[in-house]
Amino acid sequence: MDTHGTPVRLSELRGTPVVLVFVPFAFSGTCTGELCTIRDNIELFDDAGVRVLVVSCDATFSLRAWQEKEDYTFDLLSDFWPHGEIARAYGVFDDERGLAVRGSFLIDADGVLRWALVNPRTQPRDLETYRSALALL
């Protein structure tokens, strides 16, 4: 569900490549830094025709406040309830902490997973890693 309460389904985005970016917590330093890097380099994704979808187990109202504060132009999706269902489906849910770990998944226009990366919770992702992944499309 996006920050306005609208459900988002990958099946409805078929025809558009998507990068799913799982983050542990809204407003945390590492997560904010990662998403500000994406925000400041959004043309990298736009030029490749890739839609960025950020997924967190935070509630929609927290994600909306974060999106507005940081001026994120991409969608932030809440995986709050059922708690972590999407993160679990991608194998990036930490049951002990109740959060998504830093997973990134590039799905092509046909719905095929083309690239995946899972970083430790405290290790930010690198923009060059995304650049290399986008070259796979």
Catalytic residue chosen out of the listed positions 19, 20, 31, 55: 31
Report yes or no: 102 and 23 within 8 Å, Cβ to Cβ.
yes
The helix-helix angle for 29-40 and 127-134 (nearest 10°) equals 50
The answer to whether residue 36 is catalytic is no
> Hey, which residues are catalytic here?
31
